[in-house]
């Protein structure tokens, strides 16, 4: 065997099977051996380390290979779960689908939509418009060239034909003529999701119960069924849904921006999940997928309604301009009371922020000129900015 093959194999064997991230930003690697309703247990060499579930943000599997693209039906459930099905049928009040991790039987009332046809940018746009359309009936969607149309009625059994109750008469439609079905649903009262299982295929499962044993996740979906998924099909276990809110997902109640020069449109007052230059948010060589970027003379006010206990972020001048020595003054207040007030300098290490926002109704972030009294290169990043319950 060539030496480089041996080196690659050795490197692959040394990759951690599991990476755990906590709400405090701590990371640990090892092998996930157990997960229950109180903790996750990671094996590190000969030792086992327990991580309390309330403080867990995510469990990731970096070795998980991406799945081959599937041409099956794409099923969406009322709880937000998305599944790829190699087969899909409905009989009476039961829907059955074959997934990569096994057969699944669901109550029809838990179906949101099913898409049989191919995906293209234009068809995606049409399909998404139908998903948000106000309707009092099901929509049986058909494709005419590159345009989607629909028949409004009540869908019944789905097999080689789809039964559609239309004006009091059952009309059978052959399956190959249907692009998909959008079900009319009154959103039921469902238990809260505690974890989103993200599969290598791109599918997601919203779960209300989750355990891990012998390299498999056993979960109860918010929509009802119980599933078992092997580690090889899982990219991540995301526990953030019930614990954190990224600031970039919130719309400010109030924004103010006073540019140094009175010229409109030269620079955005702030950006979500990108730097002010439109590149990934990057601080000292590390890129962050989430966060907000602000220019000096910008104020953002968020209504957080006392629902969170901590505001966490990493504050720094974006790498695109950091080495030029730029700086800004950052002030963060909660209901008018200062929580942080300090200068952020490009040539210094980013500042980790962990602020107590318990009971805070309005969180306000103000960026002003730094000690250089200039707006040049005042590109502040609040990387990974999030509110923690």
Look at residue 188 in the predicted model and tell me its pLDDT.
76
**Mapping DSSP to helix (H, G, I), strand (E, B) and coil, where does residue 135 land?**
coil
Enter the CATH code of domain 245-388. Answer: 2.60.120.1060
Query: Residues 6 or more apart from 342 whose CB is under 8 A from it?
Result: 329, 330, 351
pLDDT at 287: 93
Pairing of strands 180-182, 27-35: unpaired
Beta-carbon count within 10 A of 229 CB: 19
Say whether 3 sits in a helix, a strand or coil.
Answer: helix
Looking at residue 8, its pLDDT comes to 39
Per-residue confidence at 268, pLDDT binned at 50, 70, 90?
Answer: low
Q: What's domain 3-60's architecture?
A: Roll (2.30)
CA distances from 14 to 9, 46, 59 (A): 9, 15, 18
For residues 23 and 279, the model is more confident at: 279
* Domain spans of the chain, in order of start: 3-60, 73-182, 245-388
Helix (H, G, I), strand (E, B), or coil: what is residue 130? helix
pLDDT tens digits for range 328-344: 999 999 999 999 999 99
The per-residue DSSP string of 269-295 comes to SEEESS-TTSSPEEETTEEESSEEEEE
Q: Which H helix or E strand runs over 129?
A: helix 121-131
Task: Convert the pLDDT of each residue in 197-216 to its tens digit.
Answer: 999 999 999 999 999 999 99
**DSSP secondary structure code for residue 370 in this structure:** -
Mean pLDDT of the chain: 88
pLDDT tens-digit series, residues 88-134: 999 999 999 999 999 999 999 999 999 999 888 899 999 999 998 88
- Per the model's pLDDT, the better-predicted residue between 56 and 16 turns out to be 56
pTM score > 0.75 for this model?
A: no
pLDDT band of residue 325 (cuts 50, 70, 90) is: confident
Angle at alpha carbon of residue 387, lines to 318 and 273, rounded to 5°: 35
CB-based contact 106:95 (threshold 8 Å):
yes
Mean pLDDT of 164-189: 89
Euclidean distance between CA atoms 316 and 22, whole angstroms: 22
Residue 176: partners with Cβ closer than 8 Å, 6 or more residues away? none
Alpha-carbon distance of 219 to 383, in angstroms, equals 32
């Amino acid at each position: 065997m060539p030496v480089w093959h041996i080196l690659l194999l050795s490197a692959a064997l040394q990759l951690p099977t599991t990476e755990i991230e906590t709400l405090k930003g701590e990371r640990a690697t090892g092998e996930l051996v157990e997960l229950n309703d109180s903790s996750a247990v990671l094996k590190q060499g000969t030792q086992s380390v327990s991580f309390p579930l309330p403080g867990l943000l995510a469990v990731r599997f970096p070795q998980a290979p991406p799945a081959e693209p599937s041409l099956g039906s794409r099923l969406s459930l009322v709880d937000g779960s998305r599944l790829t099905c190699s087969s899909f049928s409905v009989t009476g009040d039961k829907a059955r689908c074959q997934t990569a991790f096994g057969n699944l039987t669901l109550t029809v009332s838990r179906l949101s939509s099913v898409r049989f046809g191919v995906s293209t940018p234009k068809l995606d746009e049409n399909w998404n418009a139908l998903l948000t359309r106000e309707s009092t009936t099901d929509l049986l969607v058909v494709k005419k060239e590159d345009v989607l149309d629909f028949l409004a009625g009540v869908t019944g059994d789905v097999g080689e034909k789809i039964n559609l109750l239309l004006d009091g008469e059952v009309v059978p439609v052959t399956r190959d003529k249907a692009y998909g079905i959008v079900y009319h649903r009154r959103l039921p009262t469902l238990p809260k999701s505690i974890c989103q299982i993200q599969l290598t295929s791109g599918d997601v499962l919203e779960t209300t119960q989750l355990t891990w044993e012998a390299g498999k996740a056993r979960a109860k979906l918010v929509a009802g069924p119980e599933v078992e998924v092997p580690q090889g099909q899982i990219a991540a276990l995301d526990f953030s849904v019930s614990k954190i809110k990224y600031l970039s997902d919130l719309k400010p109640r109030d924004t103010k921006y006073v540019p140094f020069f009175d010229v409109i449109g030269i620079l955005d007052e702030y950006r979500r999940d990108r730097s002010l230059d439109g590149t990934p948010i990057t601080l000292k060589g590390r890129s962050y997928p989430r966060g907000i970027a602000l220019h000096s003379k910008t104020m953002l006010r968020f209504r957080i309604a006392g629902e969170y206990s901590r505001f966490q972020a990493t504050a720094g001048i974006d790498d695109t301009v950091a080495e030029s020595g730029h700086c800004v003054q950052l002030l963060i207040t909660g209901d008018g009371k200062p929580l942080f007030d300090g200068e952020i300098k490009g040539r210094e290490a980013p500042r980790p922020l962990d602020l107590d926002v318990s009971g805070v109704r309005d969180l306000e972030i103000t960026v002003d000129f730094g000690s250089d009294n200039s707006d040049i290169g005042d590109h502040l990043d609040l990387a990974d900015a999030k509110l923690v319950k």
